[in-house]
């Protein structure tokens, strides 16, 4: 497996700001939903202090009407 194959199989991650713009919700809305664990925001990853979202999880979340199964 070469380096290109490894990186092409990695998930595409987007920042909280990018997701906010993509779904037309504020960053504070995303943060509030994360803290409440309501399932109304897509699954997130935390890398250090940075919150990231896998674009595939975001698309699944949108296909489910903006609700994720907890």
Collapsed DSSP state (helix, strand, coil) of residue 40: coil
Q: What six digits make up the tokens of 68?
A: 């994720």
Domain ranges in the chain? 3-63
- pLDDT tens digit at each of 70 positions of the chain: 555 555 566 779 999 999 999 999 999 998 898 877 777 788 889 999 999 999 998 998 888 887 665 5
Q: Which residue has the tokens 């290109």?
A: 4
Cβ atoms of 31 and 41 closer than 8 Å: no
The model's pTM is 0.74
């Amino acid at each position: 497996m070469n380096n290109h194959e490894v990186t092409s199989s990695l998930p595409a991650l987007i920042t909280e700001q990018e997701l906010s713009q993509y779904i037309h919700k504020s960053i504070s809305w995303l943060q509030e939903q994360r803290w409440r664990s309501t399932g109304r925001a897509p699954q997130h990853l935390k890398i250090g202090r940075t919150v990231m979202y896998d674009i595939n999880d975001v698309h699944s979340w949108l296909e489910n009407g903006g609700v994720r199964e907890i």
